Structure 1
Amino acid sequence: MNKIGLLTTLIALAIALPMEASAKGRVRSSHSHASPEAHPHATGETHTAEGGSGIIRSAIARPHRSQDGTAGGESGALPGSTATSEEDANLRRIREEKAAARAKRDAEILAARKLQQEADAEKRREQAEQAALNASEAEKRKAAETRAKNRELAQLERQQRQAAWEARCQIKPVMTDAEIATCKEVWTTAAR
């Protein structure tokens, strides 16, 4: 903003110098610039210089100064003030766009994080369900294995009892009445 004000001042000086030089060549000016009220659009101070036989006064434009000497960039009709206000508006618009883009990006990141957290929670829930299912299946499998093992042991025990029961009956060429009665009992009844 200072560069624009400096540029405006330099342009005003460049315009004022040729006017002052042409005014020095004249003997007297047809109208004097005795007060700043004579030209309401002139915003600045009046300087006097003697040139030839008369006094020449020229106004030097001061950027960002109004008639009453207060700073007022938006109230003056200087070309720099409109450029400055346009530039300020552009900068404000750019800042607002950046802030909006940042807010949008932050909102997208927050939404993505929220979705990720929900997905992680769902994944943990599914893993917990799968772990419970696996534990249940493992328990069922272990119970089935235990039942099968118990059946095998019971079968083996029955076979051993049957073998011992049948061993009581030894067939010989010559048997006593007690041995024959034992063999009849073994053949007719199951092992005890």
Structure 2
Amino acid sequence: MMPTVATAQRDLAELCPEPVLAAVMCHRGPGASGLKKLFGSKDPSSQLAINNWLVLTPTALRIISLGGRTGMKPRKEVAAWPRAAVLVAVEGAEVSSYFASTGSSLDYRVHRLHITAADGTMLVTDVRSAPMLFGDDQDLVTDEAIAAESDPEVREAMLGLREMTDEVNSNLAAILTGCGVAPQPQPQP
């Protein structure tokens, strides 16, 4: 199950004092070392967990770290910046995850967000552009691929994956617009 805005509203009720307008799952970007977290740096980039919520509320852009056995339990608010006082730049990137146990790696595309607060705090975080899809798997959710699929169950699964991708991109666009960033053309899956 892919986390949604409704999931964020429910799960973050105790940590987020405002209504959630848009939310996406984000992950530590490059340079956010686990060593900094281990040795107690107070910098927001070192306080990020592997999974985090990036949340737009009526007054702020918030990042809430997740943890627990599933990696999905809200732990703490890492940062909250007034929407008018934060700059967000976005770029496309490809990330590779290496699995030592199998000697293989998976590549996936992300929207890399560079967040700069008024106090100079900088944070880099990644939002998957197509959740649950890796590398060239994004070709599975194009109109042509879905139309060509003859198995109704497979076609339904493909449509579900595209719906998740569209929801993430829609919420990310709402967050960017809410922070004053001009809407970016979304890459086609």
Alignment TM class, shorter chain as reference: under 0.3
TM-score using structure 1 length:
0.20
Which protein has the bigger helix share?
A: 1
Which protein has the bigger strand share?
A: 2
